[in-house]
Chains A and B, each alone.
Chain A
Amino acid sequence: MRDVFATGGMILNESLLWEKGKKGRKAMDIAESDVPAAVVDPEIAGSGPDFPDLGEVDIVRHYTRLSQWNFGVDTGMYPLGSCTMKYNPKINDKIAATPALASAHPMLSDDLCQGTLFMMYELQRFLAEITGLDAVSLQPAAGAHGELTGMLIFSAYHKSRGSRRTKILIPDTAHGTNPASAALCGLYPVPVKSGPDGVIDPKVVADLMDTETAGIMVTNPNTLGLFEENITEIAEIIHKRGGLVYADGANMNAVMGIVDMKKCGVDILHLNLHKTFSTPHGGGGPGAGPVCVVRRLEKFLPVPRVVKKRRTYSLEADQPYSVGRIHAFHGNFGILVRAYSYIRLMGAENLKRVSQLAVLNANYIKEKLKDDLHLPYDRPCMHECVFSDQNQHDAKVSTLDMAKRLMDYGYHPPTIYFPLVVGGAIMIEPTETESKDELDLFIEAFKEIVCEAKENPDILHQAPHITKVKRLDETTAARHPCLTG
């Protein structure tokens, strides 16, 4: 066997914060007071929290050691399907830290913050152009927050037309957040079964769509990595019966410069800036989930939004049809800056190239691994491909075992057991920032693991072997939750 990337290098154990330190230490300067000490009303006075006292070196070593137990895109390939773990350019972080932007207070009057407003206005324009839709709100703080905004718009739209609709169509290949977002808006999700080819059959939609249904929420490209090729026909059916089409644009990274969402019949779409537009995931956030709509729905977008009058930018809040405010201020501005920077660095042609190479990489992995792993939908894919563990059933090796074994080879596992339409799913999204060499090494590693599954399945059952901790007892964690120390 070739040398794998991963080795058990030197990482250090580290206790919890409160297991170290000494009373009286501090890792932050606090200036001497230049005002007299005031009396604190005993009625409000508390005793202060029980925090450990640590010195600066304690803190720096603690978090440096913790960071070394983590794996990021900068460490290696992270082919987590649907999550789009592409490289996050360092320059974007630097631009977001520009002092005049990073220190801007969100409630300054418009004349005092033309720079931040300009940048938001430009980004609104860029995102409209990229999706083909007309108007954008940058407020939603994440993809699921964007979905919620979209569903609020569904609700406000139907209300404005005097119709009360209580159901929504959601395909089985949609993101898991979709039904939960719709439910928050009082819409009962009606599942739409995808066809044998992995895409939605318009006939099924036609059977389900009625005047009590608010519309459809479709992820396109879907979570099988397939383009919903009947989308225009589906949209027509929905529109004819007074519904709206919501597209989960989490996978926009596959179709930039190629697909026009308005021509597809989409009315509302959210983008995940932390996916398509390269902003870092931060171990779970912050993200940003701007919502784009067609002109007739513009009046329902959250307020305020940035508008331009002559050469001045201002926040426009006066819109009686708006669903209202969805974020305390203007959304995750620091993330918006990073996406703005990325789009400025790339330009139109490179963004299209991003999509082309993302799709090329996914198809390459699909072709190279389909003899080793079961491929339930053998057709050209977009930015990700979905395998299953069916070929490994005889050896009693599961998707989870193979995923854990990949860690020993130095890879973050793909997304597993999702989408639900494929049993034991292995969802691989390489993204465009992986080179052919990297893909070849990953493919070779996966082939090796498939061999191991036949010859030495125990090595997989016990994997991972070289990580800081071995498989963790998640059952006990859930049964007897210990959420604080």
Chain B
Amino acid sequence: MRFLPHTDEEIKSMLQAVRVASLEDLFSQVPPDCRRDAAMDLPAPITEWELNEQAGAIAGMMEVQPDFKVLIGAGSYDHNIPSIIPALTSRSEFMTAYTPYQPEMAQGTLQGIFEYQTLTARLLGMDAANASIYDGASALAEALLMGIRISKKKKKVAVSKAIHPHYRQVVTTYFQPTDFEVVELPYLADGRTDFSGLAELDDLAVVAVQSPNFFGVVEDLSAAAAATHEAQAIFITSFTEPLAYGLVKNPGSCGADIVCGEGQSFGIPRSFGGPGLGMFTCLEKYIRSMPGRLVGQTTDLDGKRGYVLTLATREQHIRREKATSNICSNQGLCAMTAGIYMASLGGTGIRELARLNYDKAEYFKAELTKAGAGIVFSSPTFNEFVVEFAKPFKSAADRLRKKKIIAGLELGKYYQELAGKYLFCVTETVSRKVMDAVVREVKR
């Protein structure tokens, strides 16, 4: 086996050095009643070349091949990824390093993450970002727990029903063993969250909303922030499509206390939903309540600028059960990827790309409307929107599938009341030709 460098002779001499007769005898302290009865039943080893073939066969089992156009976003977006990104992130000095516990040997990771934190905070209009959380869903759950820590003693959190249904499921999972109550805020006919009931909720610690929300609708965050603060609660905004903030007002400027969400859009392949990137930011006054790793700037003995992991006293390895979270790792390389992506676009590029996504979606909405379909929610959207059809869309979707187009996500599974309606997403990777092909099928 080429990853195991030991020759038989070396093994022999090393066993002599440790005064053990055989490799098996190294495990003398493992009692017989803990031992396996038989060898592991796994497929026989294969070579690299056979593995390549096997991967090809598995890829062949996918009905949806890379040349398909998948017009689904819903938390996982198809954006172009420039080749410099895999080239730089696969540099093994980044890829094969651990969490930067020894800063003198990890300045590359540390400066890269410091830059990621800075760009993320600027994007979302917030004071500080952490080095990342697992994904958008766990980021939301952690944000809610953080909000509860800040609010102290209050027991209720209100979560918009227009937040990604999977994220809400994860929140339910995290909250199950606690005595906190999760209240759902309904959405209005225009696709925005209804905050009118907030005033009646007492004991409210946190209000969470997503923008653009699961329906692609841009929420009125300023109004939501005002209503939340009126109720003396912490205002959290979540997102699944950070590119929107190239065009749309950022949550910080609208009064958010904590902003978190999924960063997969920023140069990370969809990869069946993971690894992604939980982006996490907050106002300065709350940083000591934040979960996760933080990189901070400092100086070395000679006064030179450098970076370290900091505020570790919040963390599990120091505080143990009193930590702000149990999180130990982050999505380091994905954060680095998002940092490179944001830097590659730049301020000018991110506006242009966000604009292109917006224009495509608006074109598609207009053409679908002309073809007789309806746009379900009237509020402004970014690159996703919900469509209803005069007649069942299923057969049109099947015909489009034969043309290598996966036309939207049927919503009945996630919102019973929206059964038969479809959530569509178009990004810069979808040409007018593809949108027109969908429109033609709608007309048929």
Contacts and interface: CB of A to CB of B under 8 A. Distances in A.
The 3 A-B pairs of least Cβ separation, nearest first, read A329-B273, A106-B273, A284-B332
Given A71-B93, A83-B98, A112-B64, A380 B26 contact: yes
Interface stretch (A28-36, A205-213, A389-397, A447-455): A28-36
Nearest to B42: A348
A263 B43 contact: no
Given A106-B274, A155-B176, A284-B113, 20 more contacts: A37-B359, A40-B380, A51-B347, A60-B88, A68-B93, A72-B92, A97-B86, A108-B70, A115-B59, A179-B320, A189-B320, A229-B31, A263-B33, A285-B330, A325-B173, A327-B137, A353-B4, A363-B18, A412-B105, A468-B107
6 contacts: A27-B346, A35-B362, A67-B91, A95-B55, A148-B174, A469-B103
Nearest to A99: B66
A49 B72 contact: no
Contacts of B30: 227, 229, 255, 258-259
A202 interface: no
A344 interface: yes
A26 B351 CA distance: 12
Nearest to B354: A48
B42 A343 contact: yes
Given A28-B345, A64-B88, A49 B119 contact: yes
B249 A353 contact: no
A329 B40 contact: no
Interface stretch (B181-189, B227-235, B297-305): B297-305
Contact of A483 (B128, B172, B218, B247): B128
Given A156-B176, A260-B34, A341-B51, A284 B98 contact: yes
Interface string B286-313: 0100000111111111101011101111
B369 interface: no
A446 to B, nearest CB: 16
Contacts of A173: none
Contact of A324 (B14, B74, B176, B358): B176
Contacts of B216: none
A104 to B, nearest CB: 4
B325 interface: yes
A116 to B, nearest CB: 5
A145 B276 CA distance: 15
A335 B97 CA distance: 16
Interface string B303-335: 010111011110011111111011111111110
A189 B322 CA distance: 10
A226 B27 CA distance: 10
A326 to B, nearest CB: 6
Interface string B84-125: 101110111111111111111111110111110111011100
Nearest to B11: A360
A477 B297 contact: yes
Contact of B310 (A232, A325, A477): A477
Which range contains the number of A residues in contact with the other chain?
Answer: 35 or more
B316 A179 contact: yes
Interface in A3-61: 14, 16-18, 21, 23-31, 33-38, 40-41, 43-46, 48-54, 56, 59-60
Contact of A484 (B10, B129, B135, B358): B129
Contacts of B333: 280, 282-286
Contacts of A96: 271
Interface in B1-54: 1, 3-6, 10-11, 13-15, 17-20, 23-24, 26-31, 33-37, 39-48, 51-52, 54
A66 to B, nearest CB: 4
Contacts of A25: 346, 348
A104 B164 contact: no
A36 B363 contact: yes
A294 interface: no
Contact of B136 (A189, A328, A345): A328
A179 B300 CA distance: 34
A103 B295 CA distance: 31
Nearest to B61: A115
Given A87-B3, A404-B104, A485-B297, A101 B272 contact: yes
A308 to B, nearest CB: 13
Contacts of A433: 3-5
Interface string B347-362: 1111111111011101
B424 interface: no
B327 A144 contact: yes
B210 interface: no
A104 B66 CA distance: 8
Interface string A242-280: 000000000000011111100110000000001000101
B92 to A, nearest CB: 4
A41 B34 CA distance: 67
Nearest to A484: B118
Contacts of B271: 96, 101-104, 333-334
Given A51-B342, A176-B320, A328-B167, A281 B98 contact: yes
Contacts of B191: none
B97 A281 contact: yes
A477 B298 contact: yes
B58 to A, nearest CB: 5
A74 to B, nearest CB: 4
Interface stretch (B75-83, B153-161, B385-393): B75-83
B248 interface: yes
B138 A24 contact: no
A436 B93 contact: no
Contacts of B5: 433-436
A88 B95 CA distance: 9
Given A107-B409, A108-B406, A229-B31, A70 B94 contact: yes
B20 to A, nearest CB: 7
A478 B359 contact: no
Given A35-B359, A323-B176, A356 B23 contact: yes
B375 interface: no
A115 B60 contact: yes
Contact of A329 (B70, B166, B293, B332): B166
B319 A180 contact: yes
A360 B23 contact: yes
A469 B262 CA distance: 33
Given A344-B45, A353-B4, A284 B293 contact: yes
B294 to A, nearest CB: 6
B274 A484 contact: no
B98 A324 contact: no
A325 B169 contact: yes
A372 interface: no
A328 B316 contact: no
Contacts of A481: 128, 287, 294, 296, 310-311
B336 interface: yes
A271 B54 CA distance: 25
Given A258-B30, A258-B35, A281-B97, A407 B105 contact: yes
Contact of A186 (B11, B55, B105, B178): B178
